[in-house]
Amino acid sequence: MKNNQTNKLGLSLLTTLLLTAIYGCSTTSKTEVNSQITNDDGVIVSQTTQLDSAKLFAKLPNSCPTPDGLAIAPDGSLTLACTNYANKGNKPGILLSISSTGDISTIGETQGVKKGGIGRPMGIAYAPDGSLYVCDSGRILRLTFKDGHIATTEVVARGLTQVNGIRIHNGSVYVSLLQMKKIKSKNLTSGIYQFSLDDRNIAVTSTEKDKQLLFKTETKNPERQFGLDGLVFDKKGYLYTGNFGDGEIYRLTLTDDGKQVIDKEIYAQLPKDTGLDGITIDNNGNLYVAGFLKNQIVKVATDKSVTVLAQYPDNNGSNGELDQPSEVIVYGDKLVVSNFDLMGGKGIVNTKHSAPYTLSYIDLSN
């Protein structure tokens, strides 16, 4: 849930997890704490919380004070979107490339809505042809590259309010809209849109009139009116998406053409004070969720058991601690995490933005 309004967030703390005494540990040891994790209905979703320290994956340049979206490039490197809302947005949004050995290079700035304007890249995903689809300033952009830099930019769609997460699956691009305030409903509405990879310059209204609106839901939590954010597909074609404010992870069944939802279920219910942001999946079908509000990484196994893999108090991330995690990606035997480190406020562990700017990782090989 990354946008320039989140410093106004409010939240009642519903669940206290783990032992503070070991939160800041940066050793490689693994500690298990007998602690019940309950959802907001008082149902126990996990009996044991496992703490496994995060470590420093990369220290980022000053040109990337607000790291966010992650994707694996065709050459095996990581691509990082730096939306750069920090410091009053005085730096343009850029894309970085991070090699498997940790070398960092700049791919380029994304284009703003107006000619010469600043872009704000967030979620990113590579298509089979090697082009990159980017959520940026209410648009979906398609970028191509030459010699490691942006060569061309096309607009796939525009008019998407608070467009955030993105995935590509079977010839379609799916994006989440964190807030759809044009829809008049009792609670905040958010949704998922579906476009063809071949679409260009599609104008939408971010209302129920759009034929591309695949799925919508309302966020019932009055203190955290932010909705669908991270999304990911599994090998069977199920689409998982998390509701930031309500702590729900939906599993959606789509038609063969991917253009309609034919079934939905709440796959997992996490505490509302988690702040479900980016979601990824491993080869075994386990989900990993960035807990934006609590400085957490949460694992939801295929049996729907829930484990907090790491959690930290407020910190500056200098040793790889989680520092407002916003995006996660499985990269070999590591879970790499973007540390957004920007928003503060009631119910948010993070208190302020500060250097260093970092990516963390958790070892998944153990």
Give the domain CATH number at 12: 2.120.10.30
What pLDDT shows up at residue 40?
58
Question: Which domain does 304 fall in, by range?
Answer: 6-363
Q: In whole angstroms, what is the distance from residue 353 CA to residue 35 CA? A: 31
Q: Are 11 and 40 in contact (CB under 8 A)?
A: no
Give domain status of residue 250, yes or no. Answer: yes
What pLDDT shows up at residue 37?
56
Instruction: Quote the pTM value.
Output: 0.89
Q: Pick from 61, 62, 49, 57: which is nearest to 22 by CA?
A: 49
What pLDDT shows up at residue 1?
57
What pLDDT shows up at residue 264?
98
For residue 174, which amino acid is it? Y
Give domain status of residue 125, yes or no. Answer: yes
Give domain status of residue 1, yes or no. Answer: no
Give domain status of residue 246, yes or no. Answer: yes
Q: In whole angstroms, what is the distance from residue 334 CA to residue 180 CA? A: 34
What pLDDT shows up at residue 43?
53
Give domain status of residue 75, yes or no. Answer: yes
Q: In whole angstroms, what is the distance from residue 14 CA to residue 198 CA? A: 44
Domain count, the chain: 1
Give domain status of residue 232, yes or no. Answer: yes
Give domain status of residue 62, yes or no. Answer: yes
- In the predicted model, residues of the chain with pLDDT beneath 70 are 1-52
- CA 170, 281, 94, 3 dihedral sign is positive
Q: Pick from 199, 227, 200: which is nearest to 215 by CA?
A: 227
